[in-house]
Structure 1
């Protein structure tokens, strides 16, 4: 019996008892069974996609010239290495990658300008299909080590001195609030630069080394990019997946890299820069929070000028960061902390040098309860954290939509509307 059925049972219990006491036992039983059967068998959760068709990760696996590399960046709340395990197992099954490295590599991230700090952990797994030779390298970034120490300021609030005074449910909610609610505040302060440095270091490891060349463990810094990595950069495929506040870390992290490359061109040779400028990357934002996290911040240095930076005849075409960046923003309308990306927002607040193309996915990852009009409710917590285990989300990431490779599940359960500019 799933969670939805259990909740429906509770809602109908009073109705069932009333019918039983009034002598309508058989009628009451029939009504309850009918509603429960509907709850168990009918999944009416919506899945609507607006924007451009896109290929999934599977399309890149056939490219024998380069490697496919995915970086996952978590959002609010304390995380420990391994938090993507369930997601990665589902993705691997969907991509028919039936073998994996016996051990994961764990790099304790540091950076040349922050050498006295451990910035977080980069956990790396290698997946492959032994029959056809397809392979994928998965990078899981954990940056909670940076914010964990700062959250100790609030530790008194959930200690024995205070916690027993709260109702149990409220106590749990308070712990969640102190943990998750603190991260955006921390990110807006002095810890922003170290958090973005963890992203920059993770990206550097992706761009400059393959699985066999990566260190297995230890405190390591990726020194930089040079012409020796240009060929790898040109041939490899980069995919970013974020959850909640991770969407902001990815975009701000890419902006930071753009700034470093623009201000310190001498540290990056011309071939490597040109390789980046010709890349097509994709960012999947689960529980996207870009609009909310833009509040109180200055916009990027360059916005609203895509034509100049992204068209071959544009005046600033040679100053672009990537040739094209596909942003696929997932949002459950019942997730209180996620948002779509309207085109007006993208034009004002997404860096033009990314050459971004936006696709919005409106998807119910949490079921909505509706029994005789007594309730219309979806668990907002499930709506916020359920993306990375939802089969439709996994299928969209793996096979895309609007192409010949679209998964049968997506054809059955999702609708796609192409937007024409």
Structure 2
């Protein structure tokens, strides 16, 4: 397990000069864009078959299977050489996307939902495997800026994906968007052929073989602070995505403006992530993650409380500045709290916890909407702030 580095972190140029950085970055970005396209593309694909309900079920199946299988596939990936799993998973996912695009208009609704779930599940271990590879190939002084760049790539994918889906649907139809997801997955599989080998060649720096080491009770306890923050962070993100459209509608603005505001949120998130990675910041890394999450939710509160479009817009766009930094901080916390032999399983579990929180947010907002859109936005945000404050408080069990 790593110790905290207090020196000024290396710059982004040094990270990008590490052998293997470019194929890793290309594989990571190309594999994440289809994930980010999937929610909107699958909803619209379902609608093309005659029902937004089918589209919602397909999108939900993609997300739920991905979150549910991520920890287990992270373990499997280590047992079956991580690079090989990444390539095979991306190729199979591309094949399923192709099948969806080719048969969506003739498939029964249940089959479409099942195929969407298979596509989500098969690639669930890829993000954790790629993030673990990044951590293994970077020297300790480079980890902070490297993880910031990783988060920036994530936010970049979520910035371009909705716009890409909208353009593809406008010039063609939803099947074109899903087919493009397949092409991107194949491209990611091809770039993964040039991924660097981890220096430990199958063994962690702690000497333990990485062949499927799952998060047992001791390691799970060590990872719990990061996983808890991922759950709450995913919940906050889900609340934002789910509550903003009805809040805009209740404020007398078009709900469709949510897409524009989310794009602004993603852009400022990229900016915040790059700024965060330029230096080490005061305080222990776990407490930084908690403070950043609390700040994000606090900045969002005016959007939940004031029925004014300018206030809502400024609040959401400003909150993005804290989004990528808190993702980076929680990844660094997990990387530090676990031995290298558990990084793949740990990062996959982190991904799953974030997805679980995101899914729970939809249920929470839906349950509160009868009491008012602003209430359904404000109360979950208050819960997130309270949870982040608890996580920030000193603990005898949370190593920071």
Q: Flag whether TM exceeds 0.5 (same fold).
A: no
Q: Higher strand share goes to which structure?
A: 1
Higher helix proportion: 2
TM-score by length of 2: 0.26
TM-score, normalising length from structure 1?
Answer: 0.25
